[in-house]
Amino acid sequence: MAIPVLKGKTLLLGITGSIAAYKALDLIRRLKEEGVDVHVVMTKSACQFITPLTVQTLSENAVAIDLFSLREEADIGHIKLARMADLVVIAPATANILAKAASGIADDYLSTILLATRAPVVMCPAMNPAMYENPATQKNIEILKGRNILVVEPDSGSMACGEEGRGRFPPIDLIIEAISKKLTPPTWKDLKVLVSAGPTREFFDPVRFISNPSSGKMGYAIARAAIRRSAMVHLLTGPVSIPPPYGVTIHNVTSAMEMYNRAMELAPEMDIIIMAAAVGDYRPEKISTKKVKKTEKALAITLIPNPDIIAAIGKIKKPQQITVGFAAETDNILENASQKLIHKNLDLIVANDVTRPDSGFCVDTNRVKILLRDGSILELPCLPKEEVAEKLLDVIEDLRRRRDGI
């Protein structure tokens, strides 16, 4: 996903003895893809489920297991490992390690590191549902949360032990997002953010519509970036085929009129409104209730304009609110974008050239220029949409800071 905050970080991954230990191998691979230096500590029970050799090969670092091994301690040293990590993540975390961490027991390599580290900690419990529901485990989780440890809730479903319930290892993407959030300062805490994303569909009969190729990737990346900064995010989305980000309140809509109505309901409550959706500018005047029959003749459909959502929000905007628009352009990019910035009463506008293959609709990268009302322009090179989102949020954060004089 190319999450900027992960790149170049050193992570200490603790693997404990749950059957879900094999899923930690996938987590190591994903973290390596994100440019993370992964150092693994395994408990003795974890070594019954997966081999240290596999972990070592995937992580490309020596694996620590035995606190009193002369060789391991000479190579790494538990205090050094505890100090070097930007973050410690335990995945999977058994009921046993949760109990030890909650009571401060340090009787093996991993529990000792947990006590010795000053780095932020993320724990991903995975166990039999009865063990997870047990009041002792739940109490330990509460204690750990109270110490600012981020505990990722396990999934529910069928378990390896044959039971149904909560206790499954969470999806890797959720763990990656939890780690990224824990590494990001919560600068948007208590801020309510509305992000629109994706295309709209303008139906002219029950099975046919006019739309555009928007994938929703840019808006979804913005929503994820705002979640990482601890904002409360409402994602207003047209039909897309990508999964919703973790932790957002999702509002699914189909047509521009539906998006308009929902946006007007939500907007007054928001601190920041970012409209990245490719809203259809026109809709068919008439929607046939039955499928329009095919004939040999040309078919004329009269299109009428849709309301401009961000412009309508611009009219009722409160002074403390920040509104951001996107301008997908094929020509005169800066001129068109700066006109929209003024006409739509925006605080800033993100202009992108949709004629380039590495920018705009559907692709994972974007090449944008961010225009502000004071005339300044930030021109970004071609970047992954995840990075464009972070840069955009930095600009918004800076604008709010300057406006509020902090």
- Cβ-proximal residues to 48 (8 Å cutoff; 6+ apart), any chain: 17
Tell me if 325 contacts ligand C5P by CB under 6 A. yes
| Closest approach of ligand C5P to the CB of residue 277, in Å | 5
The upper half-sphere exposure of residue 180, i.e. CA atoms within 13 Å in the direction of its Cβ, equals: 26
| Closest approach of ligand C5P to the CB of residue 176, in Å | 28
Among the listed ranges 16-24, 132-140, 246-254, 304-312, the one in contact with ligand C5P (CB under 6 A) is 304-312
Note whether 378 and 369 are within 8 A (CB): yes
Nearer to ligand C5P by C-beta: 224 or 340? 340
| Closest approach of ligand C5P to the CB of residue 239, in Å | 15
Tell me if 309 contacts ligand C5P by CB under 6 A. yes
User: Of 242-261, which residues contact ligand C5P (CB under 6 A)?
Assistant: 256
Catalytic (active site) residue 161: yes
Tell me if 281 contacts ligand C5P by CB under 6 A. yes
The residue count of the chain comes to 406
| Closest approach of ligand C5P to the CB of residue 312, in Å | 8
What's the rounded Cα separation, in Å, for the pair 223 and 276?
Answer: 10
Nearer to ligand C5P by C-beta: 329 or 387? 329
Choose which of 111, 215, 306, 338 interacts with ligand C5P (CB under 6 A): 306
Among the listed ranges 50-58, 141-149, 275-283, 285-293, the one in contact with ligand C5P (CB under 6 A) is 275-283
Tell me if 272 contacts ligand C5P by CB under 6 A. no
Tell me if 34 contacts ligand C5P by CB under 6 A. no
Choose which of 340, 367, 369, 400 interacts with ligand C5P (CB under 6 A): 340
Among the listed ranges 37-45, 57-65, 293-301, 307-315, the one in contact with ligand C5P (CB under 6 A) is 307-315
Choose which of 28, 76, 95, 275 interacts with ligand C5P (CB under 6 A): 275
Q: Which one of the listed residues 47, 161, 362, 382 is annotated catalytic?
A: 161
| Closest approach of ligand C5P to the CB of residue 306, in Å | 5
Tokens of 227: 């979640």
First vs last C-alpha separation in the chain:
33
AA letter at 256 = A
Integer angstrom CA distances of residue 26 from 50, 58, 359: 12, 9, 30
Choose which of 326, 353, 368, 388 interacts with ligand C5P (CB under 6 A): 326
| Closest approach of ligand C5P to the CB of residue 1, in Å | 23
Fill in the DSSP letter of residue 247: T
Sheet containing strand 368-372, edge to edge, reads 249-252, 232-237, 192-197, 272-275, 322-329, 348-353, 368-372, 377-379
Choose which of 6, 141, 277, 383 interacts with ligand C5P (CB under 6 A): 277
What's the rounded Cα separation, in Å, for the pair 374 and 347?
Answer: 9
- Cβ-proximal residues to 379 (8 Å cutoff; 6+ apart), any chain: 369
What's the rounded Cα separation, in Å, for the pair 130 and 192?
Answer: 37
Among the listed ranges 169-177, 182-190, 229-237, 276-284, the one in contact with ligand C5P (CB under 6 A) is 276-284
What's the rounded Cα separation, in Å, for the pair 358 and 245?
Answer: 23
User: Of 179-218, which residues contact ligand C5P (CB under 6 A)?
Assistant: 196
Nearer to ligand C5P by C-beta: 231 or 277? 277
Choose which of 90, 126, 273, 279 interacts with ligand C5P (CB under 6 A): 279
Specify the DSSP element, H or E, that contains 310. Answer: helix 309-316
- Cβ-proximal residues to 173 (8 Å cutoff; 6+ apart), any chain: 1, 243, 246
Nearer to ligand C5P by C-beta: 281 or 394? 281
| Closest approach of ligand C5P to the CB of residue 314, in Å | 9
- Cβ-proximal residues to 116 (8 Å cutoff; 6+ apart), any chain: 78, 79, 82, 83, 106
Tell me if 72 contacts ligand C5P by CB under 6 A. no
Among the listed ranges 83-91, 97-105, 137-145, 301-309, the one in contact with ligand C5P (CB under 6 A) is 301-309
Q: Please spell the DSSP secondary structure of 19-76, one letter per residue.
A: TTHHHHHHHHHHHHHTT-EEEEEE-TTHHHHS-HHHHHHHHTSPPB--TT-HHHHHHT
- Cβ-proximal residues to 222 (8 Å cutoff; 6+ apart), any chain: 195, 197, 274, 276, 389, 392, 393
Q: Which residues are catalytic?
A: 161
The binding site for ligand C5P (CB under 6 A) comprises 196, 256, 275, 277, 279, 281, 306, 308-310, 325-327, 340
